[in-house]
Amino acid sequence: MINIHKSPYVFFLFFLLLGSTLSYSQSKKQQELEARRQELRKEIQQINNLLFTNKSKKKSQTTLIEDVNYKISVQKNLIKITNQQANLLTREINANQKKITELREELETLKANYAKMIVHAYKSKSEQSRIMFLLSSSNFKQAYKRLQYLAQYAKYQREQGEAIKTKTAELQTINQDLLRQKKDKQKLIEENRVAQRELEKELSQHRVLMASINQNLSKYSRQIKQKQQEARAIDREIEKIIREAIAKSNKAAGKTTKATSTFSLTPEDRALANSFVSNKGKLPWPVEKGVVKLRYGRQPSPIVPTVMIQSNGVRIATEESAKVRAVYKGRVMRVQAIKHGNLTVMVQHGNYITSYTNLSKVFVKTGDNVTTKQPIGEVFTNPANGESILRFSVFKETTTQDPAHWIYRM
């Protein structure tokens, strides 16, 4: 067992390992923040491309403020993440500056001790003095110990020389890291200034739009409630189609109970459902490019916060006439024309269903088998405002699911 009180190298090794671990964790955290920052920058670019490029189309006030609200929320997230990165870099810079000070002090001590050893070695370097040191031993045991001492002293001298080289190299590496960190921090600060200016512009536009809306709040409240009624009507029709499909599957299986609310699955259907579930969180987006304008669940309206809206799926803004893709293999359960929803395609994956609403064209028919990412239709682009919005939902039987839990990084 090593006696740590007599082994200063144990302490040195411990602190070296501790410093490496802390440095690694901070570096990993920095990488995670940078990855998230790049995602948000990409999302803002998508928002600009998909929501703000078509200047020739006149958007309604409600649509415009929804878009501005969404962009503001993403920009705030970007600024927040950038600030976290800058703060983390500040902590890393301070830690490195402290480490540099400590290393310089250690290096000075090592050099001073090494210099003393060199002087001592020079004074006693004659071969005769070494031999006399050994011959003057009172017995063989003492002579052996003195021989060991001379070997250990020479070894210690070499180790001190190597320690000085190692410390010098470590100091140079940390200095280089420090310069890089300072440069990275300055870059983040500059980017944040640009993002803040952009946010101020959006907030100014938001204030102007809200002032206009507040002048006729009751009118916009009615519009929101009307949209909610239309959305509920679409949801009811989709749920009715699912209930009919459940009843049909039970009838085919010879079940007579009318109240059943679950599919009667064949072994193949059950395997497909299990496969669908095993890919939860990894499914591709139903469009190649898109941003989620309305998320799943009950939430206050971004226009009139006192009005609550219920979303049983997500609304994705995408490119004009974008191709809509099946998010997983399955069978087309129904192709349906729905009032206020244009065409809808419903794909069954065992006892799970994915629904794609607001299509202008459909490339499949009821009963077709589809594969993952297979184009099943084309999203409807509103000629009045240039909007291309896909309503996408996930169901387990008739129970709605949050698509963000199923689709990769939604």
- Please report which confidence band the pLDDT of residue 127 belongs to, taking 50, 70 and 90 as the band edges: low
Cα maximum dimension of the chain: 111
Please give the pLDDT value at position 149: 65
Burial of 313 from C-beta contacts in 10 A (0-12 / 13-18 / 19+): buried
Q: Would the pLDDT of 18 be above 50?
A: no
Q: Which amino acid is residue 179, in one-letter code?
A: L
366, 336 contact by CB (below 8 A): no
Q: Is the pTM of this model over 0.85?
A: no
pLDDT greater than 90 at residue 134: no
Percent of the chain residues past pLDDT 70, beyond the cut: 83
Average pLDDT, the chain: 84
pLDDT of residue 354: 98
Residue-wise pLDDT for 209-255, tens only, equals 888 888 888 888 888 899 999 999 999 999 999 999 999 999 888 88
| DSSP H/E element including 293 | strand 290-294
Whether 346 and 336 have beta carbons less than 8 Å apart is answered as yes
Selected residue with higher pLDDT from 306 and 372: 372
Model pLDDT, residue 112? 76
Question: For position 172, what pLDDT does the model report?
Answer: 80
Looking at per-residue pLDDT, the higher value among 308 and 27 belongs to 308
Determine the pLDDT at residue 341: 75
Query: Does residue 393 contact residue 383 with C-beta atoms inside 8 Å?
Result: no
Q: Is the pLDDT of residue 207 over 60?
A: yes
Domain boundary assignment for the chain: 4-214, 226-405
The stretch 17-21 carries a mean pLDDT of 46
Residue type, position 140, single letter: F
* Mean pLDDT, range 335-364, rounded to an integer: 95
Compare 327 and 184 and report the one with higher pLDDT.
Answer: 327
- Amino acid found at 335: V
Smallest CA-to-CA distance from 286 within 311, 314, 252 is with 314
* The pLDDT of residue 148 is above 70: yes
pLDDT band at 109 (very low <50, low <70, confident <90, very high): confident
Per the CB < 8 A criterion, the answer to whether 348 and 330 are in contact is yes
**Confidence bin at 26 (pLDDT 50/70/90):** low
- Beta-bridge mates of residue 359: 343, 379
Looking at mean pLDDT, say which of 100-114, 208-222, 376-390 comes out highest: 376-390
Residue 363 has pLDDT above 90, yes or no: yes
Instruction: Identify the pLDDT of residue 304.
Output: 86
Please answer whether residues 236 and 336 qualify as being in contact, where contact means their C-beta atoms are separated by less than 8 angstroms. Answer: no
For every residue of 370-392, DSSP letters joined together read: E-TT-EEEEE-B-TTT--BEEEE
Nearest CA-CA partner of 324 in 408, 391, 385, 277: 391
pLDDT at 126: 52
226-405: CATH number:
2.70.70.10
10 Å CB burial of residue 53 (0-12, 13-18, 19+) is exposed
How many angstroms separate the CA atoms of 156 and 7, rounded? Answer: 12
Asked if the model's pLDDT at residue 379 lies above 60, the reply is yes
Give the residue, 336 or 341, on which the prediction is more confident. 336
Nearest to 268 by CA among 254, 285, 249, 241: 249
- Determine the pLDDT at residue 73: 92
